Amino acid sequence: MSRGTNLKFKLIYLMRIMLEKTDDEHALTMPQIMKELEKYDVTAERKSIYADFEDMRNKFGIEILKEQRGPKTYYHVGKREFELAEVKLLVDAIQSSKFITRTKSRELIEKVKRFVSEYQGKTLQRQVFMDDRVKAMNESVFYNVDEVYTAINENRKIRFKYYKWDINKKLVARNHDNWFVVSPWVLTWVDENYYMIAYDDWAQMVKSYRVDKMMRISITEDERSGQKEFKEYDMANVSKTTFAMYGGDRRNVRIRFENTLCGVFLDRFGKNITFYPVDENHSELNVDVTVSQHFFGWLFGLGPRVQLVGPDDVVEELREYVAAYMESINYPSPKGNGLVTAQS
């Protein structure tokens, strides 16, 4: 290919060069820019490159800054669509999302790195670390989300197989491997997981389903049902109710705690909660939660500096939960040699 035959792509190649090879810490002189263009079989005059810089700013919002360093003039990209700090936030969000598999996390991070220069990408790569936390293994979760949204937009029911983990760390089908057919109404993000909120005709109630546990989704020809039930489900309040996806009654509970633990409750319930002083060292708060074993386990894990003080029936339910747990500590030894206790 003769030199200069790619001239019609000059602006595209110039944008790529400036976005990939320059940033606030790295810049190129005009001779260096022209040399980089030659790698794409493009020859260009300085005047035309200056005009391209203007087009990049006016048409694409890519600002090229000029900096004089002694006798040489350097050029680099100034404002980007995504700044490095923003890309780091995106990377952190990808890494912390349990519903994104390790493989897909790495793929997404590689794509996100294209928003910054190759030099910034290298520093970002040092930040990338996949630890041993649980990551979803359903690689099709992205397509599941897209399929559910399509069904919602087309007002159609969906069918799918729903899975759970077994003791061998394998996904096994629920409901005797029968198809689930439901009417999807909304997708929501709760406790680091995607959930589909849908109406189940057979059970005649609104239920939630983990999207990463759904497989082989297909859209049916049947129109959705359960609109009235979904409206009564009050999704706005459910999304604000902690532990909402674990089943149980939604209740307003009162919790007493040492003031040193106030940050725990602010992190969990947000800054809109109100603290009521009890004495110099203790306060109380009222908050809506879904009363479940998950809630009791979380509360129990905070230790004796936290107390559930109301309502009475929920307090009694917690006592029964703790009693059942303490009783379960005494269980038959695997070898049949009597009981294993907490003191063993």
Write down the domain spans for the chain: 7-77, 84-127, 141-228, 244-329
Measure CA of the first residue to CA of the last residue in the chain; give whole Å: 80
Q: What single-letter DSSP state applies at residue 167?
A: T
Q: Which CATH number fits domain 244-329: 2.60.40, 3.40.50, 3.30.70, 3.90.25?
A: 3.30.70
Q: Are 184 and 196 in contact (CB under 8 A)?
A: yes
- Say which residue, 290 or 178, is predicted with more confidence: 178
pLDDT bracket for residue 296 (50, 70, 90): confident
Paired with 65 in beta bridges are 76
Residue 125 is predicted with a pLDDT of 61
- Say which residue, 281 or 194, is predicted with more confidence: 281
The phi and psi torsions of 228 (rounded to 5 degrees) equal: -65, -45
Chain segment 26-56, per-residue pLDDT in tens: 999 999 999 999 999 998 889 999 999 999 9
- Residue type, position 212, single letter: D
CA dihedral of 240, 244, 249, 254, whole degrees rounded to 10: -60
Residue 246 is predicted with a pLDDT of 60
Residue 77 is predicted with a pLDDT of 93
- Say which residue, 71 or 194, is predicted with more confidence: 71
Query: Is the overall model pTM greater than 0.85, yes or no?
Result: no
pLDDT bracket for residue 341 (50, 70, 90): very low
Chain segment 155-193, per-residue pLDDT in tens: 999 999 998 877 676 778 988 999 999 999 988 877 667
Chain segment 254-263, per-residue pLDDT in tens: 999 998 888 8
Residue 159 is predicted with a pLDDT of 96
Report how far residue 282's alpha carbon sits from residue 260's, in angstroms, rounded to the nearest whole number.
Answer: 9
Report how far residue 237's alpha carbon sits from residue 168's, in angstroms, rounded to the nearest whole number.
Answer: 37
Residue 129 is predicted with a pLDDT of 53
Q: Which tokens hold the place of 214?
A: 């759904």
Q: Is the pLDDT of residue 301 over 60?
A: yes
Residue 242 is predicted with a pLDDT of 56
Q: Which tokens hold the place of 240?
A: 């604000």
Residue 97 is predicted with a pLDDT of 74
- Say which residue, 266 or 18, is predicted with more confidence: 18
Domain 141-228 has CATH 2.30.30: yes
Q: Is the pLDDT of residue 343 over 60?
A: no
At 308 the three-state DSSP class reads: strand
- Say which residue, 67 or 265, is predicted with more confidence: 67
Residue 241 is predicted with a pLDDT of 56
> What average pLDDT does the chain have?
83
Paired with 210 in beta bridges are 195
The phi and psi torsions of 187 (rounded to 5 degrees) equal: -110, 140
pLDDT bracket for residue 339 (50, 70, 90): very low
pLDDT bracket for residue 294 (50, 70, 90): confident
Percent of the chain exceeding pLDDT 90 equals 37
Chain segment 119-145, per-residue pLDDT in tens: 888 877 655 555 544 555 566 777 888
Q: Which residue has the tokens 């389903």?
A: 209
Chain segment 71-105, per-residue pLDDT in tens: 999 999 988 888 888 888 888 788 777 677 778 88
For the segment 271-288, the average pLDDT, to the nearest whole number, is 89
Q: Are 151 and 223 in contact (CB under 8 A)?
A: no
At the topology level of CATH, where does 7-77 sit?
Arc Repressor Mutant, subunit A (1.10.10)
Q: Is the pLDDT of residue 338 over 50?
A: no
